[in-house]
Structure 1
Amino acid sequence: MNYLSVENIAKSYGERVLFTNISFGINKDQKIAFIAKNGTGKTSLLNIITGKDNPDSGQVISRKGINSAFLSQEPELLPNLTIEETIFASENKILKVIQQYEKALLNPDETEAYQKAFEQMEINNAWDFETQYKQILFKLKLENLDQKVSTLSGGQKKRLALASILINKPDLLILDEPTNHLDLEMIEWLEQYFSKENITLFMVTHDRYFLERVCTEIIELDNGNIYQYKGNYSYYLEKKEARMEAEKASVEKARNLFVKELDWMRRQPKARTTKSKSRIDDFYIIKEKAHQRRKDHTIQLEINMERLGNKIVEFHNVSKAFDNLQILNKFNYTFKKGERVGIIGKNGTGKSTFLNMLTKTINPDSGKIITGDTVRFGYYTQSGINPKPEQKVIDIIKEFGEYIPLAKGRQISASQLLERFLFDRKKQYDFVEKLSGGELKRLYLCTVLIQNPNFLILDEPTNDLDIVTLNVLEDFLLDFPGCLIVVSHDRYFMDKVVDHLFVFKGDAEIEDFPGNYTDYRVYEDSIPEESSLEKKEKKTWKKDTNSGLSFNEQKEYNRLEKDIKKLEEDKQTIEKLFLEGTLNGDEINKQSIKLQEIINQIDRKTERWFELSDKI
């Protein structure tokens, strides 16, 4: 069943042509990724598909009755609403039923309203839906339901918009960089959710593991043409390489034929037969094919790295806390030459604080951080570039000098350097605010690298960068001889460029793990925690379970299942009493209080059950 058709659409901004005559379809149960280079119109295409913008020509046709949802990079939420009010603001009928039921629970004296709300929960089979919706909020760490949207961070708003969409279960879900602002634990949960759910997806994402494990089809916009691949990311890479080789051979063949036909054209007399006119028409087709040029320029990341001495950075008994939140406690570490560290951990465990102390933006509470005289930091932060009003792209680079030094005593102009970062002469004189998100990140990367650092710190460098640029950046970092620290939720990127991890576990606990992110996940999932229980019980547990839970966690998990089942039975018993209508006023109040206590216990134990089940 076709949900949406894109038919011959085109889009330009002034003289800048993004695409022309683009056509493709989205069918039920397809999980499609859309891939294109930065600045070629990915977000514009999404805006056209979702009706936020209009094409210059062509049309987008949606099937009648299809419920679609769009997760943009900057969700539009009402700032005066709370998280809970935002969730319930949708037109979802079951959510309205749940909302009425939860209101009734807050007013146990109104027995008629409660009974009516309870009956509606039964009629609409809303109990399972309520459990799923609470699980989604729990997984996306949106527990404070009374918090106002206006007080949320950009990442929290993105997670709230995602939660609202997932809870409403649209027929077609369109996503623009869904993994941005999610930590690694959330990404892996979302990956599993999309893989298992029967949901139709169309998404733009640079997360290559996400592409590999979720998407079953890939559509690529390349040099103005659409190419479709029925497979995941690995299949796409294989087939794209084959296509490129075939195109190259086809152009080469056309060039050889062009030389032959050009000689024939030059020898043609003025009087031409019908046969020769047909050959002349074919000549111009061959000429166009022979002169085809691919715009396959790649970034050339070349810097003149400052010499790095033997003393780099040393942490001696460093401690740092914010109120009751302990970030570091007598932390010791000595960085070595060529070290490549990945940093992972949940939000709020101190990753950014650690980087700010390393670069002396903030000071430790106690202890010393000693930095070698030759160390030159290059710090790529999440905040990015802050251009002045009406500042042009080339002006950003010229702030560092008209000429930029390179390796072996060479130098290039600011304009030449920008060309290496794929900003052509025309683009260099665009205002910075006109750049796409990916182009802004690329320009920022340029400003960090031209300062010739020998200790690179990259905080979420992969956000908004296209896959082509990511591959170039990865290759550059593999050859970078200095020290490197990377904070990233891009597991593919981390696996490729780091040698070991600092795992921020909270409460000032930092584990130095000798391997990349995938190594760490395999290790965490396969090694149960030690326990001091009797050997017989321990052996029985190891024999009976394949989960990643410790013995105590497994025991707690089993106990929770029994507790929740018993509480659900108690809940149903009280609800049955309400339905029978035999209780007097005092008994109704007493049973209402008891029911609320049972519901609170079910919620707490269910959240813990979800937490443990996620490890299995």
Structure 2
Amino acid sequence: MKTLNITNASKTFGERTLFTDVTFTINEGDRIGLLGLNGTGKTTLLDGIVHPNNLNTIEVDKPKDFKISYLKQQPDLDAKSSVIDAVFNGSGEKFQLIRQYENSLAKFNINSTDKKIQNEFFKLQEKMNAAEAWQMESDVKSILNKLGITELDKKIGELSGGQQRRVALAQTLISEANLLILDEPTNHLDYEAIDWLQTYLSKYKGSVLFVTHDRYFLNEVATRIFELENRNVTEYDGNYEKYLQQKAANEEIYASVQHHKTQLYKQELNWMRAGVKARGTKQQARKDRFTDLKEDLQNKPEAQKEMSIDIAQQRLGNDVFDIKDASLKFGKHIILKDFSYLVSRGDRIGITGANGSGKTTFLNTIAHQLPLDSGEVKTGQTVRLGYYTQHTEDMDPDKRVIRYLESIGQGARNTDGNQMSASQMLDTFKFDHQMQGSFIRELSGGEKRRLYLLAILMNQPNVLLLDEPTNNLDIETLTILENYLTNFKGTVLAVSHDRYFLDKVAHKLLIFDGQGEIEESYDSYSGYLKEASEKKQAQHHEDKIQKHEEVKEKTEQKKTETKKKLTYAEQIEFDKLEPKIEKLDDEIASLKKELNDASNDYEKLMDFQRQLDEKNQESDKLMDRWEYLGQFI
């Protein structure tokens, strides 16, 4: 069993210590979710495991052949490289061979009559055969397809930021590493890609250490939880649900113990102050106990202030947005097509759908940042808009944190009507006085997003547009935001693929299917996805039946057209195939019933869904074989 041991990992920036003396072991097969508030050093720790010189101290003990593959938050890809070159940028012989073959194939498809191109292509085909590299190539293309990357010859520089990140994820997954380190792997992925990645990592033979904000994903994938808190790592066994249970129990025990120690300390303090002069054994023991208690309480982790969002909002009338006959098109890509919709006070609308279908563009149009081709968006007179975009806007890196917030405004009122200064507001968002004086460039990516969220809320909006708010926000901040939105009396429109967030926040959904097709659902996001999956499975089953009938028809035709026979072994195989397929169909039907059973919990439903996917794949393979053998009967 190959293990990775990390000992004495520490990192300090100036006067700020992120973590110190962090020690842990990653065993083969572990899938570890790393949690922690933005700015505690999660990304720095991941980076330090790969690049030890970036930390002040760290000891990394691993086998010589131990391989780590690392997905960074900001992928470092060559803009001039093609997608296929970037993905196969490994040093392995098979990687190089596949890269050469794919480039040769592209040339061959353009000019198949050129003798030089032909010779090169056929030679590389032979090398692929000799190296048995076809399966690896097939696996990689499957991974790319699942992640929505289909244009393999496109240049990296021509891709969007989200597409580049998906290419980097594919590059990381195909590396056949002993340990995958993934920093926010679900960012910029739609539900189907997240669901596929969840299954892929759950079955991964090596180990996985990952940071994510997606709590459903974390719950399904993680077998251990590391929490970076109070400058060190606390380990928990199990998934996110078990972590929450243990964390709650620990907090209760800790509070009880500390209360007891504090009371005992006060008693001992009174005794010491009484000026007892005796130096007997009992009195000395009490003095020693006093000293121990004092040191214990002084060295305990500093009590963390609870982050809170206590900001009042402006009054909002009934009319928010009245969208009439809205149309918008970019080239051949239709975003909106004669779309009409009324958004009212109190609406909680989750906006989701495939990447590139126009969700962010839709928010930009109703925020009047992008004009429509035709139609109009009327905004209510009392609307005070807060728009949390995917990118932190107008944030000067050379400005200090408190000066940035003061430039937004001189503070806001809380729900009790009291005026709060910029410093007080920063304090409630876990920016201590030292951090308030820091330059924005010194903040982590997540801390910048938390500061940006505070800047949006500081203007006391009554309508919130949130574009992928779960990207780069830690789970604690997300939980606080979700609770705030639950009690928010205004209107919320949120673009997200995060199932947990939308299930908690959204009362209805707008699903962008692409090319201007938008459907409305009053189901929860999880409920909608389950229904969509069932429809897809039903369609798959119908397609399979149709294919089955077509094969039967072709087989009957072949019987009359040819006298070619199967071998004895093939005939036996063919005779056994149909009963196997029928048995699989029965098992698939049974699994579908389980999926429709409301009494099953989420964990069981996901297990049934995985079994169903496997049975469908097996059935497809048998059908393909049955179709092939059927030609010769």
- Taking structure 2 as the reference length, the TM-score comes to 0.81
CA contact (8 A) 2:463 2:492 kept: yes
Which of residues 221, 224, 237 is equivalent to 2:228?
Answer: 221
- The equivalent residue for 1:247 is 254
For 1:424-450, what per-residue CA distance to the aligned partner results, in whole angstroms no more than 9, with x for missing partners? 222111111111111111111111111
Distance (Å, rounded) in 2 between the aligned partners of 1:135 and 1:614: 17
Cα distance, 1:477–1:561 mapped onto 2, change above 3 Å: farther
CA contact (8 A) 1:303 1:449 kept: yes
1:476 aligns with 2:492: no
1:549 aligns with 2:556: no
Which of residues 359, 371, 383 is equivalent to 1:363?
Answer: 371
Counterpart of 1:426 in 2: which secondary structure?
Answer: helix
- The equivalent residue for 2:576 is none
- Structure 2 unaligned blocks of 5 or more: 553-612, 621-633
- The equivalent residue for 1:436 is 444
Q: What aligned pairs does 1:184-333 form with structure 2 within 5 A after superposition? A: 184-266=191-273, 272=279, 279-291=286-298, 292=300, 294-333=302-341
1:349 aligns with 2:357: yes
Which of residues 154, 157, 162 is equivalent to 1:147?
Answer: 154
Distance (Å, rounded) in 2 between the aligned partners of 1:63 and 1:162: 25
- The equivalent residue for 1:575 is none
Cα distance, 1:550–1:80 mapped onto 2, change above 3 Å: closer
When structure 1 is superposed on structure 2, of 386-395 and 424-433 the one drifting more is: 386-395
Which of residues 391, 402, 414 is equivalent to 1:394?
Answer: 402
Aligned-pair identity in percent equals 40
CA contact (8 A) 1:8 1:22 kept: yes
- The equivalent residue for 1:570 is none
Cα distance, 1:325–1:198 mapped onto 2, change above 3 Å: same
Which of residues 486, 494, 505 is equivalent to 2:494?
Answer: 486
For these two proteins, the number of residue pairs brought into alignment is 551
- The equivalent residue for 2:71 is 71
Counterpart of 2:37 in 1: which secondary structure?
Answer: coil
Counterpart of 1:549 in 2: which secondary structure?
Answer: helix
Distance (Å, rounded) in 2 between the aligned partners of 1:560 and 1:23: 61
When structure 1 is superposed on structure 2, of 88-97 and 243-252 the one drifting more is: 88-97
Distance (Å, rounded) in 2 between the aligned partners of 1:560 and 1:486: 46
Distance (Å, rounded) in 1 between the aligned partners of 2:416 and 2:242: 41
For 1:130-166, what per-residue CA distance to the aligned partner results, in whole angstroms no more than 9, with x for missing partners? 2111111112222222222223322122111111111
- Taking structure 1 as the reference length, the TM-score comes to 0.83
Cα distance, 1:559–1:298 mapped onto 2, change above 3 Å: farther
Cα distance, 1:376–1:269 mapped onto 2, change above 3 Å: closer
Q: How far 1:216 sits from its partner (Å)? A: 0.7
Distance (Å, rounded) in 1 between the aligned partners of 2:272 and 2:551: 84
CA contact (8 A) 2:503 2:525 kept: yes
CA contact (8 A) 1:223 1:295 kept: no
When structure 1 is superposed on structure 2, of 337-346 and 73-82 the one drifting more is: 73-82
- The equivalent residue for 2:59 is 59
Distance (Å, rounded) in 2 between the aligned partners of 1:370 and 1:114: 59
When structure 1 is superposed on structure 2, of 517-526 and 95-104 the one drifting more is: 95-104
Q: How far 1:58 sits from its partner (Å)? A: 4.1
For 1:519-577, what per-residue CA distance to the aligned partner results, in whole angstroms no more than 9, with x for missing partners? 1011112246xxxxxxxxxxxxxxxxxx3425653357769999xxxxxxxxxxxxxxx
- The equivalent residue for 1:168 is 175
- The equivalent residue for 1:465 is 473
Which of residues 157, 160, 163 is equivalent to 1:156?
Answer: 163
Cα distance, 1:614–1:347 mapped onto 2, change above 3 Å: farther
- Structure 1 unaligned blocks of 5 or more: 529-546, 563-608
Counterpart of 1:399 in 2: which secondary structure?
Answer: helix
Counterpart of 1:327 in 2: which secondary structure?
Answer: strand
Q: What aligned pairs does 1:519-534 form with structure 2 within 5 A after superposition? A: 519-527=527-535
- The equivalent residue for 2:561 is none
Cα distance, 1:552–1:20 mapped onto 2, change above 3 Å: same
Cα distance, 1:278–1:502 mapped onto 2, change above 3 Å: same
Q: How far 1:330 sits from its partner (Å)? A: 1.4
1:92 aligns with 2:92: yes
Counterpart of 1:220 in 2: which secondary structure?
Answer: strand
- The equivalent residue for 1:24 is 24
Distance (Å, rounded) in 2 between the aligned partners of 1:113 and 1:265: 90
RMSD across aligned positions (CA): 2.8
Counterpart of 2:433 in 1: which secondary structure?
Answer: coil
When structure 1 is superposed on structure 2, of 144-153 and 410-419 the one drifting more is: 144-153
When structure 1 is superposed on structure 2, of 138-147 and 266-275 the one drifting more is: 266-275
